[in-house]
């Protein structure tokens, strides 16, 4: 595992610094390996993955079931420690951080959106969105919460509770909550898995908008080629290894790659492919 003295810039970090002294990528994984289990019962979930997620880009991560997508997301977000390899988030080498430092980093620099919206039912929309800031002992800047709520189309609903909202609206709250602290990167794990097609499109459009206008880096795990087509790039995983990438993906090009990777084989017909916003433009 790559270890450098705290406060010192590693060679890899120097290579990724641009002229303004900032790293050009939000997250960089180098030779990341994750092995679960003990000697005679081991599963290699990630087998030497090297990739990066540039600032302001939207990447979808796809692959057959068990290919290592969630493990990749958890390693990149500092939720799980790889067995070996390096994860650099902005200029933080995660393997050098203790649990307290990781918790603070996740709170301050990372947003999460999950398939289950994970909202607190007793809190209003506004309270749910500001929760990460309040847990950190911060107060949101004046007007900031309203701006984020307007951005996700919930300006009129800030005093409602989650049970009074549709699934799509609840996911919008989760996205607002993920964006409130202006994180370096938002990790989304099947964010549209529980939503109908139209609502899913709205949510994907919001994520895309966040990467285009707010310069947010988005990394999204999905099984859905249509969802993946909203991203700038799709990374494919198979058996814990990178198995290619697609730029400017379309639902058809993604589905074709997935078919070659052996996905969809047992799942019956291919998913219905509907045009993305980008194609409709
Ligand atoms: N905590 C764990 N203990 C043991 N094995 C694990 C654990 N978590 C994941 N695995 C194994 O690691 C491999 C990769 O799992 P992972 O969940 O990352 O795949 P995935 O691509 O996200 O799958 P899916 O699409 O089905 O969610 C699988 O073989 C899985 O069984």
Query: At residue 38, does pLDDT exceed 70?
Result: yes
| Alpha-carbon gap, residue 208 to 196, rounded angstroms | 18
Q: Please report which helix (H) or strand (E) contains residue 89, including its range.
A: strand 84-89
Tell the residue nearest (CA) to atom 13 of ligand 1.
45
What SS3 class is residue 96? helix
64 with 240: CB under 8 angstroms? no
Q: How far is the CA of 69 from the centre of ligand 1 (A)?
A: 8
Provide the 8-state DSSP code for 140. Answer: P
- Who has greater pLDDT, 241 or 25? 241
Q: How far is C-alpha 17 from the chain's CA centre? A: 23
pLDDT for 281 equals 43
83, burial (CB in 10 Å: exposed 0-12, middle 13-18, buried 19+)? middle
CATH of 26-120+183-268, one of 3.40.140.10, 3.90.1530.10, 3.40.50.300, 3.40.50.150: 3.40.50.300
Tell the residue nearest (CA) to atom 25 of ligand 1.
65
210 with 57: CB under 8 angstroms? no
Strand-by-strand arrangement of the 43-54 sheet: 43-54, 25-36, 84-89, 92-93
Is the CB of 50 within 6 Å of ligand 1? Answer: no
- Per residue in 205-235, pLDDT (tens digit) is 999 998 998 889 999 999 999 999 999 999 9
SS3 content of the chain, % helix, strand, coil (to 5): 35, 25, 40
Is the CB of 222 within 6 Å of ligand 1? Answer: no
pLDDT for 12 equals 43
ipTM summary value: 0.98
Domain boundary assignment for the chain: 26-120+183-268
Q: What is the pTM of this model?
A: 0.85
What SS3 class is residue 157? helix
Atom of ligand 1 nearest to the CA of 67: 21
Tell the residue nearest (CA) to atom 7 of ligand 1.
36
Is the CB of 43 within 6 Å of ligand 1? Answer: yes
Alpha helix positions (H), the chain: 11-15, 69-76, 99-109, 125-135, 144-151, 167-179, 197-213, 225-228, 251-260, 277-280
- Per residue in 74-105, pLDDT (tens digit) is 999 999 999 999 999 999 999 999 999 999 99
- Who has greater pLDDT, 45 or 214? 45
pLDDT band of 136, cuts 50, 70, 90: confident
pLDDT band of 137, cuts 50, 70, 90: confident
pLDDT band of 1, cuts 50, 70, 90: very low
pLDDT for 34 equals 97
pLDDT for 140 equals 83
Tell the residue nearest (CA) to atom 6 of ligand 1.
36
Q: How far is the CA of 276 from the centre of ligand 1 (A)?
A: 29
Is the CB of 235 within 6 Å of ligand 1? Answer: no
């Amino acid at each position: 595992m790559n270890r450098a003295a705290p406060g010192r810039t590693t060679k890899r970090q120097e290579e990724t610094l641009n002229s303004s002294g900032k790293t050009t990528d939000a997250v960089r994984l180098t030779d990341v390996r994750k092995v679960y289990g003990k000697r005679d019962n081991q599963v290699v979930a990630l087998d030497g993955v090297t990739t990066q997620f540039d600032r302001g880009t939207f990447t979808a991560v796809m692959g057959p079931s068990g290919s290592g997508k969630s493990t990749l997301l958890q390693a990149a977000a500092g939720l799980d420690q790889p067995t070996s390899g390096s994860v650099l988030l902005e200029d933080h080498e995660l393997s050098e951080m203790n649990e307290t430092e990781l918790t603070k980093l996740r709170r301050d620099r990372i947003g999460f959106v999950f398939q289950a919206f994970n909202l607190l039912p007793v809190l209003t929309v506004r309270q749910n969105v500001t929760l990460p800031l309040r847990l950190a002992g911060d107060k949101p800047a004046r007007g900031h919460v309203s701006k984020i709520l307007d951005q996700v189309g919930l300006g009129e609903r800030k005093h409602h509770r989650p049970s009074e909202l549709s699934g799509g609206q609840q996911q919008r709250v989760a996205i607002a909550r993920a964006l409130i602290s202006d994180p370096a990167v938002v990790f989304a794990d099947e964010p549209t898995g529980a939503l109908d097609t139209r609502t899913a499109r709205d949510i994907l459009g919001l994520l895309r908008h966040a990467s285009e206008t707010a310069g947010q880096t988005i990394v999204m795990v999905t099984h859905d080629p249509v969802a993946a087509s909203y991203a700038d790039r799709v990374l494919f995983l198979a058996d814990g290894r990178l198995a290619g990438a697609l730029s400017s993906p379309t639902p058809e090009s993604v589905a074709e790659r997935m078919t070659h990777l052996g996905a969809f084989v047992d799942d019956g017909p291919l998913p219905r492919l509907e045009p993305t916003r980008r194609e409709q433009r």
